[in-house]
Amino acid sequence: MTDAVDHDLKVKHTKDEASRQNFVAGMRGYVLNDLSGHMKTVWDRKVEPAFEKANGRAPSDGPEIHKTIKSETIFKFYSAMRCNTQEMVWRSVMPAVEREGRDLSRRAQVLSQAGDKAQGTVETNPNFEVPRYVSELDVHMMPGNYHEERIDYDVTQGAVFDNGLAVFSFGLLGDRMEDITDSVSTFYQAHYPDSKPKKILDLGCTLGHSTLPWKARYPDAEVHGVDVGGPCVRYAHARAQSYGVDAHFHQMDAEHTDFEDESFDIVYSCMFLHEVPLKNIKGVFKEAHRLLKPGGVMLHYELPPNTMTSPYDGFYLDWDSYYNKEPFYKAFRDADAKAEIEDAGFEKDSFFEHVAPSRNLYGHDALMEAAQQDGAKNDSRVGRFGDGVMWYFFGARK
């Protein structure tokens, strides 16, 4: 399962560890595809009809469905299985990462200094203050989160995330686990052929899975990623060097970066906003507006908003907010992104949203066909991590 980690920071898992990872990945596939399907059947055939009979109406939103289904055995079983497999993801990869922690740090430094492979840069800040909403939480139950550091030039949390993501995504994210931004950036390029960005910024870049595809789309552009996690940006740069991709990584807060006004053509993020409290998302949008050149574009890959999903899909997607240590997830999905971007200085009319089919699952032609269309259509596959997933993104032009 960790074969998707195919660069020079790869760690060696024992056979027992590898089979444990395969088991966890398979179990997650079962929970997210099969068990979630059983839960929907129970909802459709038993719980919703009983609700309608008792109330004379259908449940109005996700929270009402959550409240109604909570006592059902299938919901408890699904939730217990998801929580357990989530914890097992990290536990299955941590032993190898811990064994190789010091060597990983040495390898990362060698790669980062190997200017013959690529010419990117990395900068961390020893006085950097990690925002409390990151430092106080093991988000999605990942021990140590994105920022914890124990040794010199620590990249451990980067390695935990990278290897864990390989197990977590059970093959859905394709080569290098870059499918989301690979698909979104390919869609963007095809849909907006006149866009010729010279400078691109990825906010909350973690290990660069969402940064490097931009360099593949626009090889002449200067590509930057920022993250609050020191281990993440070190790992991201070493990973990029290993792949021979020029990219620049910085330990910075996306709300208060050190970049100059009007210096970027695209400010992007991927799976970032739903991990940020709404008041800080407002700050991120304002910062993106400050950083964009006139005519520049802000883009965010994210979970679809609750206004776009059916009440059941809203309940299903918001599960993480209650049970997976993702406390800001639901508030983000409930927010009115159009109003927020206007507050941040963008023209309301410049708001756009799209759904990109995963290139890994549906192929290049399906992605190109979708890129000819405008707008984002409601579809239960959008944002639902399982077979057939489609990627939602929204943005605005300055």
Ligand X SMILES: C[S@@+](CC[C@H](N)C(=O)[O-])C[C@H]1O[C@@H](n2cnc3c(N)ncnc32)[C@H](O)[C@@H]1O
Q: How far is the CB of 205 from ligand X (least distance, A)?
A: 5
Q: Is 276 in the site for ligand X (CB under 6 A)?
A: yes
- Closest distance to ligand X from the beta carbon of 246 (Å): 19
9 binds ligand X (CB under 6 A): no
Give the nearer residue to ligand X in terms of CB position, either 68 or 85.
Answer: 85
Q: Is 291 in the site for ligand X (CB under 6 A)?
A: no
* Span interacting with ligand X, options 113-121, 191-199, 221-229, 375-383, rule CB under 6 A: 221-229
134 or 376: CB nearest ligand X: 134
Contact between 131 and 202 (Cβ < 8 Å): no
Is residue 356 within 8 A of residue 278, CB to CB? The reply is: no
Segment lying near ligand X (by CB under 6 A), choices 82-90, 119-127, 271-279, 346-354: 271-279
Q: Scanning residues 59 to 78, which ones bind ligand X (CB under 6 A)? A: none
In the complex, what is the shortest distance from the CB of residue 350 to ligand X, in angstroms, rounded to a whole number?
23
Q: Which of 275, 302, 320, 353 binds ligand X (CB under 6 A)?
A: 275
Q: Does 137 bind ligand X (CB under 6 A)?
A: no
**180 to 209, contacts with ligand X by CB under 6 A?**
203-206, 209
Q: Is 162 a residue that touches ligand X (CB under 6 A)?
A: no
Can you say how many angstroms the Cα of residue 92 is from the centroid of all Cα atoms in its chain?
A: 21
String of contacts with ligand X for each residue 244-263, x by CB under 6 A: ---------xxx--------
- Give strand pairing partners of 297: 266, 397
**Which range, of 15-23, 71-79, 228-236, 358-366, touches ligand X by CB under 6 A?**
228-236
Distance CA 355, CA 378 (A): 9
> Is residue 113 packed enough to be buried (19+ CB in 10 Å), middle (13-18) or exposed (0-12)?
exposed
| Minimal distance, residue 230 CB to ligand X, in Å | 10
Q: CB-wise, 232 or 267, nearer to ligand X?
A: 232
Q: Say which residues have a Cβ less than 8 Å from residue 262's Cβ, sequence separation at least 6.
A: 290, 291, 292, 293, 294, 296
> Exposure of 75 by Cβ count < 10 A (0-12 exposed, 13-18 middle, 19+ buried)?
buried
Which one of 131, 174, 345, 386 is in contact with ligand X (CB under 6 A)? 131
Strand arrangement, sheet containing 292-302: 121-123, 248-251, 222-227, 199-203, 264-270, 292-302, 390-397, 352-357
Q: Which is nearer to ligand X, 275 or 313 (CB)?
A: 275
Q: How far is CA 234 from CA 5, 108, 206, 275, 288, in A?
A: 16, 7, 10, 21, 23
Q: Is 226 in the site for ligand X (CB under 6 A)?
A: yes
Tell me: does residue 92 bind ligand X (CB under 6 A): no
Nearer CB in complex with ligand X: 69/173: 173
CB of 191 to ligand X, least distance (A): 20
Q: What are the Cα distances from residue 385, in Å, to 199, 270, 307, 361, 391?
A: 31, 15, 19, 12, 10
Positions that interact with ligand X (CB under 6 A): 131, 134, 146, 203-206, 209-210, 226-229, 232, 253-255, 270-272, 275-276
